[in-house]
Amino acid sequence: MGSFSTFVFLFFGLVLNGAVFCNGGKTSSYVRKVEKSVDMPLDSDTFKVPHGYNAPQQVHITQGDHVGKGVIVSWVTPNEPGSNKVIYWRENSKHKKKARGKVYTYTYYNYTSAYIHHCTIKHLEFNTKYYYKVGFGYTVRKFWFVTPPAVGPDVPYTFGLIGDLGQTFDSNVTLTHYELNPQKGQTLLYLGDLSYADNYPNHDNVRWDTWGRFIERSAAYQPWIWTAGNHEIDFAPEIGETKPFKPFTHRYHVPYRASNSTAPFWYSIKRASAYIIVLSSYSAYGKYTPQYRWLQEELPKVNRTETPWLIVLAHSPWYNSYNYHYMEGETMRVMYESWFVQYKVDVVFAGHVHAYERSERVSNIAYNITNGLSTPVKDQSAPVYITVGDGGNIEGLANNMTEPQPAYSVYREASFGHAMFSIKNRTHAYYSWHRNHDGYAVEADSMWFFNRFWYPADEYLSAH
Ligand SMILES: [Fe+2]
């Protein structure tokens, strides 16, 4: 291209970008097949029961302490409790160690669970590959994981993000795209709504089991960090099931006590250079409630010199311009948004709305009943809000958007996909969103994040 045509190209490129920006953002015109998502049948390969008597299935791991030296190993044995032992060892080491867990069962209406094992392994070395085995006595299966590097301000680390996955053919495509993303996610931040078993008659908990077998191929090898969504509540008084979160809390343990939380629905972990706060959209969050008091004490503890990146996960988004679940996150936003600005949260990830959306850095905290100031304004101390509720579950895409696109909304698109948040150092992180209809390496949306504590410049004014 000659210099003049380069100039023309750049000029019009900038004008077009400017026009898009002034209109408040981009609504993607990407056209996809809009068809119903169908659950994979019970006899799918994806749900295959491993061979062997009482073979462990639904194996998954999550962080088991506050800093990443612990891992919770969970698995299900179908026939009998069997051994609660985990044998684990460092790669290239002959020194095998042993940990013992506990076994749980629960009933849900006419369903009785198999034997659910949870075992916390502690005092692991950082940045080390470990092998582990479960199922002693009968069929033993072997897996591995890699512990994160020691917590520190400039430790690179890559998180994947999936929400509202379910167990459809589309869900399987989403998980495959995450697994094959060349950025190689090291830990998955799961944004709530797991199995969608509650879409079946009597919340058929067999669909909790199939979901556990579906995700094992990833979750047995890297930690999935759990956020509770509305499909985890399983509150069904019409069939006598009145204890909220019963299947979820039996099947998916989290290290909530390590962050002085009193319930497994809100907690925090440190991992590499990130401080991750998980909140519950479906537990009380008003003033004086346990979650409120915990978050109030938690935020001042975050030391950005140790963990520069402050990430919050919650299922229900606070900024959502789709006509699905519109304003459902509003009451929690009213309670906590001023804290997020005060403590300079870098990014808030949510699910719930089955689509994708990324916001400007905005806040809406000036309103005081009489002043009329109830519109989001640009705020460099505020987080970016990202909705990644597009895992592919049976309920299908949210493709009906509010019009016009609000000024705070930078990009929105109704496609299935997943996202990646790749921390480079204390100042920069690279974020990307990947739609299922593209190749594994394609980024449909991306953004360089500048850390709010170390480099609070306006990302949207910089070349990107
Ligand atoms: Fe949801």
Q: What is the pLDDT of residues 169-180, one digit of tens each?
A: 999 999 999 999
Question: Residue 263: what pLDDT?
Answer: 98
Question: Rounded to the nearest whole angstrom, what is the distance from the C-alpha of residue 191 to the centroid of ligand 1?
Answer: 9
Phi and psi dihedrals of 347, rounded to 5? -155, 145
**Whether the predicted model's global pTM rises above the 0.85 cut:** yes
Distance CA 437, CA 337 (A): 34
Averaged pLDDT for residues 11-16? 39
Torsion of CA 214, 218, 220, 221, to 10 degrees: 170
Report the pLDDT value the prediction gives residue 67, as an integer from 0 to 100: 98
First to last CA, the chain: 21
pLDDT tens-place string over residues 122-177: 999 999 999 999 999 999 999 999 999 999 999 999 999 999 999 999 999 999 99
CA–centroid distance, residue 54 to ligand 1 (Å): 33
d(CA 380, CA 219): 35
Asked if pLDDT for residue 207 goes beyond 60, the answer is: yes
Smallest CA-to-CA distance from 76 within 109, 40, 49 is with 49
Distance from the CA of 192 to the center of ligand 1, in angstroms? Answer: 7
pLDDT of residue 36: 78
**Which DSSP state fits 339?**
H
112 CA → ligand 1 middle, Å: 25
Residue 316 pLDDT > 70: yes
The torsion angles phi and psi of 336, rounded to 5 degrees, stand at -115, -10
Residues labelled as active-site residues: 325
Residue 86's SS3 state is: strand
> Which of 14-28, 137-151, 422-436 bottoms out in mean pLDDT, i.e. has the lowest?
14-28
Residues by chain with Cβ below 5 Å of ion ligand 1: 193, 229-230, 352
Alpha carbon of 229 to ligand 1 centroid (Å): 5
Distance of CA 352 to the CA centre of its chain: 11
Of 27-36, 182-191, 396-405, 443-452, which range is least confident? 27-36
Residue 7 pLDDT: 40
Task: Give 244 Cα–ligand 1 centroid separation in angstroms.
Answer: 15
Q: How confident is the model at residue 448 (pLDDT cuts 50, 70, 90)?
A: very high
293 pLDDT more than 90: yes
Statement: residue 32 has pLDDT above 80: no
- What is the overall mean pLDDT for the chain? 94
Q: What is the mean pLDDT of residues 428-439?
A: 97
- When computed from its CA atoms, the radius of gyration of the chain, rounded to whole angstroms, is 22
CA of 208 to the centre of ligand 1 (A): 16
- Give residue 3's pLDDT: 43
In the β-sheet with 97-100, what is the strand arrangement from edge to edge? 97-100, 85-90, 129-134, 141-146
**Cα–Cα separations (whole angstroms), residue 321 to 262, 313, 389:** 33, 19, 13
Distance 297 CA to ligand 1 centre (A): 27
**What are the pLDDT digits (tens) for 97-126?**
999 999 999 999 999 999 999 999 999 999
% the chain with pLDDT above 90 = 91
Q: Tell me the C-alpha distance between 257 and 266, whole Å.
A: 10
